[in-house]
Amino acid sequence: MKTKKKIFQKFEFKPPKEFETPFQIPNPPKPSSSTGTLKMTAAVPPLTGRELSNPPSDGISNLRFSNHSDNLLVSSWDKIVRLYDASENVLRGEFTHGGAVLDCCFHDDNSGFSASADNTVRRLVFNQQREDILGRHDAPVRCIEYSYGTGQVISGSWDKTLKCWDPRGASSQERTLVGTYTQPERVYSLSLVGNRVVVATAGRHVNVYDLRNMSQPEQRRESSLKYQTRCVQCYPNGTGYALSSVEGRVAMEFFDLTEAGQSKKYAFKCHRKSEAGRDIVYPVNTIAFHPVYGTFATGGCDGFVNVWDGNNKKRLYQYSKYPTSIAALSFSRDGRLLAVASSYTYEEGDKPHEPDAIFVRSVNEVEVKPKPKVYPNPAT
């Protein structure tokens, strides 16, 4: 019996008349064909990308590329964390948990950490087939991150706490728990950049911490979006974060609290369609930044992946529709590959749906590189 919770739904929505910075939405560019003569037997890559073998058998909660290779770590509601070599399409290893696994992240190329509905935080060492329990929360653990700067694991739970762990103590007598930090509500999403950690909770709360001083939040905020937060992701340049909601919008926020800094923030609509004069609005489940260009991809319950240029406020690309909801996205370390989790997120309740699948697609520069602004010629 599946324990997956129905957390959010697709719904019809009449947007309020409020100020928003509109994105320029071009028609999605068509994939260009190669020049020269193609042999009739040449294999044409599928529009969705190459599908990985041995996928999870239940909903995919997250996936992440390694910082060192094309290894891909995947967590799932089927209680398993899997390690794939995405380039070779090979399953390298897996670990089974006592409950659904709600998040995962890498430590190094052969090990990672997991957050489970069995309340545990674990370290998984795939090349040694060894797992250690770092510790426990009092409720399912929703999010996990590893800070390369401080060497700590940060976990967020539905028990309304954030915990920091020292993984070096997991297999010795040392105490691994560094600290517990109470949050205003259940933790839904976490993101790290440098020494900053951004915590998004139920009730639209957002706390910003400095990992070097966790005694209290550096900033306490409220989401500028009116509906439940789905995902938060820090900008690679460390100046702010993007936050998505269940109501087809993304907010671009900045850490700088000066008037000039806050004047840069804006929100935009996405992952929605119009039917019979009504907006059909979809949750935006995931945000992934390109490691080279700083542009970002969003994935929604409409089955689409869009790529955005946040600085110039333009959509750069929309990929062909996937079989079902986009549950997670991740770019490889060099931005060459994009992993897409096509996995129904129960936004319309329990119903027949397409199988859970992971697609790995090659990324073309035209899809992710910002286009230079064109300025009109001055009148002569």
**pLDDT, tens digit, for every residue of 111-129?**
999 999 999 999 999 999 9
pLDDT for position 243: 98
pLDDT for position 339: 98
Chain-wide mean pLDDT for the chain?
Answer: 88
pLDDT for position 74: 98
Burial class (CB in 10 A: 0-12, 13-18, 19+), 39: exposed
Class of CATH domain 48-367: mainly beta
pLDDT for position 8: 38
- What pTM value is reported for the model? 0.87
Give the up-direction half-sphere exposure of residue 21: CA atoms within 13 A in the CB hemisphere. 15
pLDDT for position 23: 54
pLDDT for position 46: 65
Averaged over 250-273, what is the pLDDT?
96
Positive or negative CA dihedral for 295, 300, 303, 304? negative
pLDDT for position 47: 78
Using pLDDT thresholds of 50, 70 and 90, give the confidence band for residue 378: low
Closest to 199 (Cα-Cα) out of 235, 264, 167, 155: 155
pLDDT for position 375: 64
The token pair that represents 300 in the structure block: 């929604």
Closest to 153 (Cα-Cα) out of 118, 192, 96, 110: 192
Higher confidence at residue 324 or residue 34? 324
Domain ranges in the chain are 48-367
**pLDDT, tens digit, for every residue of 40-57?**
333 445 678 999 999 999
Angle at 265 between CA 264 and CA 267, to 5 degrees: 140
**pLDDT, tens digit, for every residue of 283-327?**
999 999 999 999 999 999 999 999 999 999 999 999 999 999 999
71-80, 169-178, 277-286, 345-354: which has the minimum mean pLDDT?
169-178
Cβ 224 vs Cβ 251: under 8 Å? yes
